[in-house]
Amino acid sequence: MTAATGPRTALVLGGNSDIALTTLQQIPLDRVVLAARDATALRTRLAAEPLPIGQVSIESWDALDPSAHEPLIERAHDVLGGIDLVLCAVGSLGHGAGITASPSDAAALFESNFTGPATALTAVAQHLVARGYGTIVVLSSVAGLRARRSNYLYGSAKAGLDAFAQGLADSVAESGVRVHLIRPGFVTSKMTTGLKPAPFATSTQAVATAIADAVLSPRSRIVHVPRVLGPMFAVMRALPRPVWRRVAGTR
Ligand SMILES: NC(=O)c1ccc[n+]([C@@H]2O[C@H](COP(=O)([O-])OP(=O)(O)OC[C@H]3O[C@@H](n4cnc5c(N)ncnc54)[C@H](OP(=O)(O)O)[C@@H]3O)[C@@H](O)[C@H]2O)c1
């Protein structure tokens, strides 16, 4: 793999993600391993919506089990003959979970949005650094840039993952490994089914295009989708809290 040719193989963490599967329609790959918590559901989905990739392997994997990460990476390495790209698309929104969430609901959101992905990416980064090359794409969210009262559990977990990915990108900067941090706004996908789209709502295709562009970059990048959310959230983060409460409203 070079920046010019792009990756030929990929491991997807959260392989049944709408954004991830759309991305795989846009990046020309030879082989992919999809790691999903419900392999049967993913097999059924791919039978109806096949990927344009020669070799697709599905692995059962739960992001919440830290002992599963290294065996998954070893299997993916063997199946793929080397991992060029890792796309981390694990997450769950909790549909407005905030003050009414129980401690166990809160723990589940923290684990699926922060602890699970961050522990998996820890193992991924060690593997890629040892090989001296590879690209990691982390799906963060603008929800992590400033927590909203309606979903601060998801937002705070994404803030943790975002900070983790930034530190990881810096720590591997000299190693040949790149870490691209993708911060979409509201994306129409199964995660947001039934929710009213937020301003600047975007599509899985737009996020996929941003990821496909980023993986060709020779440097680690932070990408907002749509792009306007970057400058907009620079302003949002500086708003006094009472103003932010009104801007965020109850959404
Ligand atoms: N949609 C949005 O508005 C939006 C905006 C910003 C960022 N993002 C982020 O983008 C990523 C992809 O989201 P999406 O829109 O494609 O939604 P999605 O289709 O629901 O994808 C999320 C994936 O995470 C998987 N997952 C959750 N917990 C897991 C676990 N413990 N182990 C393994 N896999 C697990 C889900 O598995 P199942 O398929 O089995 O449920 C699902 O495939 C997420 O990180 C999300 O937070 C989404």
Query: For residue range 59-116, what is the model confidence (pLDDT) as tens digits?
Result: 999 999 999 999 999 999 999 999 999 999 999 998 777 788 899 999 999 999 999 9
Which residue among the candidates 61, 154, 164, 186 is catalytic per the annotation?
154
Query: For residue range 122-168, what is the model confidence (pLDDT) as tens digits?
Result: 999 999 999 999 999 999 999 999 999 989 999 999 999 999 999 99
Query: For residue range 172-184, what is the model confidence (pLDDT) as tens digits?
Result: 999 999 999 999 9
Higher pLDDT, 250 or 171: 171
Three-point CA angle 138, 192, 222, nearest 5°: 25
Per-chain mean pLDDT for the chain: 95
Angle in degrees, 0-180, between the axes of helices 116-131 and 152-171, rounded to the nearest 10 = 10
Query: Which secondary-structure segment (H or E) carries 222?
Result: strand 222-225
Residue 147 phi, psi dihedral angles, 5° rounding? -65, 140
Residue 154 is a catalytic residue: yes
Smallest Cα–Cα separation from 144: which of 130, 161, 167?
161
CA of 62 to the centre of ligand 1 (A): 12
CA of 89 to the centre of ligand 1 (A): 5
CA of 22 to the centre of ligand 1 (A): 13
Whether 119 has a pLDDT exceeding 90, the answer reads yes
CA of 17 to the centre of ligand 1 (A): 5
Letter string b/e over residues 23-34, b meaning 16 or more CB atoms within 10 A of that residue's CB: bbebbebebbbb
Please, which pLDDT band fits residue 4 given cuts at 50, 70 and 90? low
Nearest atom in ligand 1 to 62's CA: 32
| pLDDT value of position 99 | 86
Measured from CB, residues less than 6 Å from any atom of ligand 1 are: 14, 16-19, 37-38, 62-64, 89-92, 112, 116, 139, 141, 184, 186-187, 189-192
% of the chain at pLDDT higher than 70: 98
Dihedral (CA of 217, 230, 179, 94) sign:
negative
% of the chain at pLDDT higher than 90: 90
Query: For residue range 188-239, what is the model confidence (pLDDT) as tens digits?
Result: 999 999 999 999 999 999 999 999 999 999 999 999 999 999 999 999 999 9
| pLDDT value of position 104 | 94
- Residue whose CA is at the smallest distance from ligand 1 atom 9: 139
Coil, strand, or helix at residue 117?
A: helix
Whole-model pTM?
0.97
